[in-house]
Amino acid sequence: MTAGKKILIANRGEIARRVIHAARELGYATVAVHSDPDAGSLAVREADEAFRLPGAEVKDTYLNSDKILAIAKEAGIWAIHPGYGFLSENAVFADDCAQAGFKFIGPSPETMRRLGSKVESKLLAKKAKVPTVPGFEGELPSGKELEKIAAKIGYPLLIKAAAGGGGKGMRVVHKAEELEEAARSAEREALSFFKDKTIFLEKYLERPRHIEVQILGDEHGNLVHLYERECSVQRRHQKMIEETPSPSIDAKFREEICAAALRVARQVGYASAGTVEFIVDEAGHFYFLEVNTRLQVEHPVTEAVTGVDLVKAQILVAEGHALPLKQEDIRQRGHAVECRLYAEDPENHFLPAEGSVGVLVEPQRPGIRVDSALEAGKPVLSLYDPMLAKLIAVGFNRKEALMKMDALLRDYVLLGIRHNLDFLRYTLHSKVFQEGRYHTHSVADILAEYLEKRGPDKPAPDLAYAIVALAGKGGAGPAAGAEAPRAEPLSALKGFKNA
């Protein structure tokens, strides 16, 4: 039935490989697209066909929808899988795919558009009787009127840019005296970044948790949830560790939040895999945040406890099949945790690191899944997302899953580039994580403790210096030193200006 049908993967790295493997399992041929620096990547070598997106910058390559569509035409594909990031939530691209006669593997462009708008998705949630964070979305007045609105919501407040994302144009206001100035400066920042100065007010939750629900729907009106993921371990608004089930909720809460997610999804007749995100306050109330109309980075933890392959499910739904499972077929079995391996230096404010993969050992063990596109000898470029790999552990219960993860983090070897493996392990061992009592600001506290031990000024264990001495010339005889070829990642790119 799928003979000769091709799927183009408009992405790179681990997620491109993940989709290639799923598509191949279902009998599809796969088409990779790649930027110039990615020409020799694992995803490109694993795909049945590969096409070049000339350039290195994402806007010229993985965001270049015209070029991707031209390749799709040339390769004669059936569907495009966008992965996450890049074009995955771009409704215009989904429209263009449909017009060109390609299936976009994801929800309909209309669904993407409605849920992609912060204002409309919030209205949909309200209509579905799902609580949203108290706030004010209308045009904000100034002076006394503004203060009145703010007082009604209550302090502390969060000012957000309507067109914003990633913390830009965001301000936390603790008292009325700070309000006016914070509002004006947020407007200026919003204008300079998004050319739109519209801002809105929201109640600021002090120690919130981030819990999301995986949903899966088809084009025949079937819709199920695959339970929650707890994603509160974050740094710089980006997730670092995710787990399921959430250690902080009970069965009743779980039932309520999953039902709420389904009510939101039903408003738009959601057909594909998606994620409804919530924040939860300290009193245990949850509020709708947004819907991600795509595959999430952290989807493997859900797969690990439910046994459902979400990427294959997306493809089957895109083919027009009905979901092969009913709600009562889906259970959470055991516990899964995911750690994101980032090319960044926790000892230096999580700044992105560049370098090359000198030594790499990715352990394979029962209950361990490593979604990675790393290869020894390959450069890691700051052009793209700093996430290098996802390490997933599944156990009979949480304790076992965390023990497996600890051993995996200890034994995973990646040398030649700064990364966060040690900080992940430290976080895993922290009291708040072990007890499952963490919130979205916990990482800041954990980092402060970590830096006491592992700050840039702190010496390494003595043994490390001895190894370095031995690794030097004349140390351990003629075989001394793992002299891997020195990669020059920056100069490998044309047009780079680099000292």
Partner 1 sequence: MKTEFQIGGETAAAEWSRDGDLVTMRLLERELKVEILRWEPPFFSVRHCGHRIHGAFYRNADFVDVHLPKGNFRIRFPKAARGGKAAAHAGGLSSPMPGKVVKVFVKAGEAVKKGDLLMMLEAMKMEHKILSPQDGKVKKILFQEGERVGQDSELLEIGE
**Residue 178, SS3 per DSSP:** helix
Closest CB to partner 1 among residues 137, 406: 406
Contact between 384 and partner 1 by CB under 8 A: the answer reads: yes
Q: How far is the CB of 386 from partner 1 (least distance, A)?
A: 4
Q: How far is the CB of 8 from partner 1 (least distance, A)?
A: 24
User: CA 444, 445, 451 angle in degrees (round to 5)?
Assistant: 85
176: which residues sit within 8 A by CB, 6+ positions away? 147, 150, 151, 155
Would residue 142 be called left, alpha or beta, if left means φ above 0 and alpha means ψ between -120 and 50 degrees? beta
Closest CB to partner 1 among residues 98, 471: 471
Contact between 247 and partner 1 by CB under 8 A: the answer reads: no
Closest CB to partner 1 among residues 64, 246: 64
Beta bridge partners of 354: none
Smallest CA-to-CA distance from 394 within 423, 367, 433 is with 367
| Alpha carbon separation from 233 to 158, 240, 242, 442 (Å, rounded) | 20, 6, 7, 7
Catalytic residue of the set 12, 294, 340, 425: 294
What DSSP character marks residue 133?
-
Contact between 161 and partner 1 by CB under 8 A: the answer reads: no
CA distance 172 to 188: 15
CA distance 312 to 486: 39
Contact between 49 and partner 1 by CB under 8 A: the answer reads: no
Contact between 373 and partner 1 by CB under 8 A: the answer reads: no
Contact window for partner 1 (CB under 8 A) among 171-179, 240-248, 328-336, 460-468: 460-468
CA distance 339 to 423: 11
Cα within 13 Å of Cα(101), Cβ side = 6
Candidate list 289, 425, 439, 442; residue touching partner 1; CB under 8 A: 425
Unique residue bearing structure tokens 């949480």: 398
Contact window for partner 1 (CB under 8 A) among 32-40, 88-96, 102-110, 490-498: 490-498
Percentages helix, strand, coil for the chain (3-state, rounded to 5) are 35, 25, 40
**Residue 169, SS3 per DSSP:** coil
Q: How far is the CB of 477 from partner 1 (least distance, A)?
A: 8
Contact 204, 158 (CB under 8 A): yes
Q: How far is the CB of 476 from partner 1 (least distance, A)?
A: 5
Candidate list 116, 352, 363, 436; residue touching partner 1; CB under 8 A: 352
Contact between 472 and partner 1 by CB under 8 A: the answer reads: yes
Looking only at residues 10 through 39 of this chain, which bind partner 1 when binding is defined by CB under 8 A? none
Q: How far is the CB of 131 from partner 1 (least distance, A)?
A: 30
Closest CB to partner 1 among residues 12, 398: 12
Smallest CA-to-CA distance from 29 within 75, 65, 69, 64 is with 75
Candidate list 259, 359, 444, 492; residue touching partner 1; CB under 8 A: 359
Looking only at residues 401 through 420 of this chain, which bind partner 1 when binding is defined by CB under 8 A? 410, 413-416, 418-419
Contact between 454 and partner 1 by CB under 8 A: the answer reads: yes
Contact between 273 and partner 1 by CB under 8 A: the answer reads: no
Q: How far is the CB of 148 from partner 1 (least distance, A)?
A: 33
What DSSP character marks residue 321?
P
Q: Is 294 a catalytic residue?
A: yes
Unique residue bearing structure tokens 């999430």: 296
Contact between 485 and partner 1 by CB under 8 A: the answer reads: no
Contact between 86 and partner 1 by CB under 8 A: the answer reads: no
Q: How far is the CB of 466 from partner 1 (least distance, A)?
A: 5
Write phi, then psi, for 325 (nearest 5 degrees): -140, 155
Closest CB to partner 1 among residues 142, 192: 192
Contact between 492 and partner 1 by CB under 8 A: the answer reads: no
| Cα Rg of the chain (Å, integer) | 24
Contact between 481 and partner 1 by CB under 8 A: the answer reads: yes
CA distance 215 to 223: 7
Q: Which residues are identified as catalytic?
A: 294
User: Which residues sit at the interface with partner 1, rule CB under 8 A?
Assistant: 166, 192, 236, 238, 343-344, 348, 350-354, 358-359, 361, 382-386, 410, 413-416, 418-419, 421-422, 425, 454, 456-472, 474-477, 479-484, 486, 490, 493, 495-499
